[in-house]
Amino acid sequence: MSKAKSFYANAIINRIFDFLLQAMINVWSTGEETSRVLSFLSIIRLVRLRQEDLLEKTLKVFTDRYCNAEFYGS
């Protein structure tokens, strides 16, 4: 595979992972208990697959959502 194809393949994979991560975080932050647990386990699996790309972003989003929920009492 050439460098250009590899670059575009990685870019597409990163966008797919970002989309899935955002969807799972939305379910985690708004769903009921069962869906929250399943989405959390899915988030863990996604982050473990692409740890170097997603770990920092995921931790930031989790802390932002958790701190906002605590602040606003939801």
Mean pLDDT value across the chain: 79
Which sequence spans correspond to the domains of the chain?
3-72
Each residue's pLDDT tens digit, 38-63: 988 888 888 888 777 777 878 887 77
**Token reading at 41:** 């386990």
Question: Taking the model in full, what pTM does it have?
Answer: 0.67
Find out whether 17 and 54 touch, Cβ atoms under 8 Å: yes
C-alpha span between 33 and 74 (Å, rounded) = 14
Residue that is written with structure tokens 């606003």 in the block: 72
